Amino acid sequence: MTDNKINSLVKYDTPVLVTTKKKDEKTQIPHLTMKDGIPTDASEVSSTSAPGLSGPLPPGGPLGTVSATRLVLPPLHELRKKESEEILNLILPPREWEEAGQLWVQSVSTTPATSVDVQQLQEQLDLRLQEQAAFETGICPVRRELYTQCFDELIRQVTINCAERGLLLYRVRDEIRETLDAYQRLYTSSCAYGVRKALMAEEHKVKVGSRCDELRTLVGEMDDRAATLRQEIEQLQKEAQDARQAEADKHAETKKVHQARIEILKKKLEGIIKQATQPKK
């Protein structure tokens, strides 16, 4: 196998065939798949449900905690005893993948870099960003992956010349990666929280709408009842007014009859008094 299967900005050596897998032989290596020319553990490939994000979900537990799979390097005094190549393999471990029953291993290159290599790295980065249509702003997993590869290549170049400086850059890279993963988990969690709140609001909206329909129906029934009661009140008022008018007419008739009788009695009384007051002859 002569092709470079690792299509990455990090400079790797030529892949080396380690073992050939037999038909009945089971190896303990993890199952790796090729994604964009990069061997990837199939168990870690999963898409996030957050809009605008894709790719593997960041590892780790609650926000602010350190991932359990985080690489822990030996103390500095022990690393000083190691060669630059060993330190480089600790920072950027060799890649392994299985193809056609054969196990291939590819380590990072230990060839020192020149200014021309740095210029070519910049050109390759710009070309990859353009070819893979990476977004210039906002959340873009493609742009993040390419810049991560570029940073790893810079760490490789620096580690070859100065292992301590490479270890410091590794710490910076690890801290940036943990921070970005924390932000991505926070964004995913906030999106899930927003979806839950939206569903709760929609459910509450349905309940409130149903209650509003019930209240509107009740208001309509009350309006009909109020209109019926108004009609009954108007009818009772009309009947009471007619009764009062009839009573007043009857009273006026009775009053007129009594006044006539009073006039008659008054005339009779005046006649009797007049007769009584006249002198007898």
Give 155-200 as a 3 state SS string.
Answer: HHHHHHHCHHHHHHHHHHHHHHHHHHHHHHHHHHHHHHHHHHHHHH
* Total count of residues recorded for the chain: 281
pTM, rounded to two decimals = 0.53
d(CA 135, CA 142): 8
Q: Per-residue pLDDT for 213 more than 50?
A: yes
- Give the pLDDT score at 250: 92
Residue 95: closest CA among 2, 1, 8: 8
- Per the structure block, which two tokens stand in for 42? 């199939």
Listed in sequence order, the residues at least 6 apart from 82 whose beta carbon sits closer than 8 Å to its beta carbon are 90, 163
**Residue whose tokens read 């008054």:** 266
Give 44 or 107, the one with higher predicted confidence: 107
Give 101 or 203, the one with higher predicted confidence: 203
| pLDDT tens column, 252-276 | 999 999 999 999 998 888 888 888 8
| pLDDT tens column, 60-106 | 444 443 444 556 666 555 565 566 777 888 888 888 888 888 888 88
d(CA 6, CA 258): 130
